[in-house]
Amino acid sequence: MTSIRTLIVEDDPRIARLHRGQLEGAGDFEVLGTAETLQVARVMAETLCPDLLLLDVYLPDGRGLDLLRELRAHGQRVDAVLLTAASDIPSVQEALALGAADYLVKPCTPERFALALDRVRERSALWQQEAVRQGHLDALFARPPLPASGLDPETLHRVRATLRSGRAYSARELGQTLGLSRVTAWRYLEHLVEAGEACATTDVRGIGRPVKRYRRA
């Protein structure tokens, strides 16, 4: 997967630095810069064409959601994660209507932030497919805290993080690494294959039954 080019739109420099560190530590995300006002964000979004906006609602000169609406109106394809103190229903409804990937109310835990980034990865992987299967759509539209597949979001995050090492794992090896049963590890791996985030190959080397190995797509 190519890096997800991200613009942080946040008027508090301390929080912006925190977000930058979280994104840079997560892998897969390239921080293009930080905008502290709506006006600056407009210019940077038009110039840099980010893949993702990490977006606050309340800015000194306007609302972050106005930026997202303007970009949508101009046909600019950009994903968005709202990370804001705005917990009012109209803001949440507007974000959903504009196709935001996730909506986090400040303060949020690092674990919940990581789940939002996983959701962005899922969507980014889907956009790179030529056609989609129902499993792709199930992964896209499943909402926290429990995906439609019945998988635990925290465990799913751990599986994704492990596969980002680039190593190919069998279900047994992944289970031993994460403290899961082989069958449980297999369920999570197959879910990621169906969602287009992992691929599987059959290792026929050696003696005994062929071993199915999974790696990040």
Give CA–CA dist 131/127, Å, rounded: 9
Most confident of 21-30, 106-115, 146-155: 21-30
Asked if residue 144 has pLDDT above 70, the reply is no
Homologous superfamily of domain range 4-126: Response regulator (3.40.50.2300)
Q: pTM above the 0.85 mark?
A: no
Region 107-121: what's the mean pLDDT? 83
Q: How confident is the model at residue 81 (pLDDT cuts 50, 70, 90)?
A: very high
Provide the pLDDT for residue 206.
59
Q: How many CB atoms lie within 10 A of CB 105?
A: 14
Task: Count the Cβ atoms, other than its own, within 10 Å of residue 89.
Answer: 7
Give me the chain's average pLDDT, please.
85
How many residues make up the chain in this entry? 217
CB within 8 A of 188, min separation 6: which ones? 151, 155, 156, 159, 174, 180
At the topology level, CATH places domain 132-216 in Arc Repressor Mutant, subunit A (1.10.10)
Check pLDDT > 50 for residue 146: no
Buried b / exposed e over 187-213, threshold 16 CB at 10 Å, is bbbbbbbbbbbbebeeeeeeeeeebbb
Residue 95 burial (C-beta neighbours within 10 Å; 0-12, 13-18, 19+): buried
Type of residue at 137 = L
Q: pLDDT (tens digit, 9 = 90+) per residue, 61-78?
A: 999 999 999 999 988 889
Read off the pLDDT of each residue in 140-166 and give the average, rounded to a whole number: 74
Centre a 10 Å sphere on the Cβ of residue 42 and count the other Cβ atoms it contains.
17
Residues of the chain with CATH 1.10.10.10: 132-216
Our measurement of the distance from residue 59's CA atom to the centroid of its chain's CA atoms, rounded to an integer in Å, reads: 24
CATH 3.40.50.2300 residue ranges of the chain are 4-126
Q: Which two tokens stand for residue 187?
A: 């369920």
